[in-house]
Structure 1
Amino acid sequence: MTNQQSFGKYATIIALLGEEQAAQLLPDFKNYKVVSGKVGTMDLKKVISSVETAAKRNNVIDESVYRETHALYHAIIEAAEGVTRGKLSVGDIMRTVGLSFSVVRGRPYQEQTEGEWIAVCFYGTIGAPIRGKEHETLGLGINHI
């Protein structure tokens, strides 16, 4: 049975290993809406827009419903704060990121009145814009819709 303790874990496994392997490891999440992708940039706005675009194009969120876009935005920002160690800055301070990301939407609580939640996870590298000078990073954000 799925639960709130595994919701973020599922998003993280997708970012780390991909959707296919994550589904094999945690099959109870097969009815959740999922999208994953990659982004590399020195511009944090591009990271945000890449995740938003993927979620909208793959019907993980309904862009005409403000609360869904708003919930996604907050989950993205929370995950990005993990990647950037709380300083939402990348190119301004000469850092670049190469990230895999996942977005997962579903009902992680048994009580249906808890509603739907959305999780965003980033995994990849961050560092100076010089190949080989970056290090691994991971960020997870979860928000209610």
Structure 2
Amino acid sequence: MQQSFGKYATLTALVDQETAQQLMPEYASFQVTTGKVGSMDLKKVISSVETAAKRNGIINGEVYRETHALYHAIIEAAEGVTRGKLSVGEIMRTVGLTFSIVRGRPYTEDAEGEWIAVCFYGTIGAPIKGKEHETLGLGINHI
């Protein structure tokens, strides 16, 4: 199952949670939340995902390792969106993204513990309507 954990997070960002669960029912027990964010400020993108994860019980904001794991998954996904250059507004780019956050145990061995995945799907480009293109980023980290 571990080889499909990222696929499930990506599918959820691309379609919706209900459709993703229908297509991949083996992940029905995993915690999932989705959201949308648009900004020229990468800090707003990061904080939107972090806030959604805390509000929807995906992570416990009082436990550092959970926040830390989420942060690394967000950064890895953002690097995919921005092609490895973690900058948006400073270089006149804006993003409009749908995101998914998935938490669970993708390995059959309990000792592997819980993992978290963040996937972004949407657009990136000049802050001019019609001057953007699609983008996708996925980050996975152990908790």
TM-score range, shorter chain: over 0.9
Q: What TM-score do the two structures reach when normalised by structure 2?
A: 0.99
Aligned pair partner of 2:109 in 95, 102, 111: 111
d(CA) in 2 for partners of 1:39 and 1:65? 25
2:50 aligned residue: 52
- Tell me the CA shift for residue 121 of structure 1: 0.1
Aligned pair partner of 2:131 in 130, 133, 136: 133
Structure 2: stretches of 5+ with no match in the other structure: none
Q: How does 1:52-71 map to 2 (within 5 A)?
A: 52-71=50-69
d(CA) in 1 for partners of 2:2 and 2:74? 18
* SS of residue in 2 equivalent to 1:120: strand
d(CA) in 1 for partners of 2:2 and 2:128? 39
Q: How does 1:34-113 map to 2 (within 5 A)?
A: 34-113=32-111
Percent identity over paired residues: 79
> Which residue identity is paired with 2:87?
S
C-alpha RMSD over aligned residues: 0.4
> Which residue identity is paired with 2:21?
A
d(CA) in 1 for partners of 2:81 and 2:35? 16
d(CA) in 2 for partners of 1:102 and 1:113? 25
Give the ranges of 4+ consecutive aligned residues of structure 1 lying more than 4 Å apart after TM superposition.
none
Deviations 1:96-144 (A, max 9, x none): 0000000000000000100000000000000000000000000000000
> Which residue identity is paired with 1:69?
T
d(CA) in 2 for partners of 1:38 and 1:5? 26
> Which residue identity is paired with 2:110?
Q
Structure 1: stretches of 5+ with no match in the other structure: none
> Which residue identity is paired with 1:72?
L
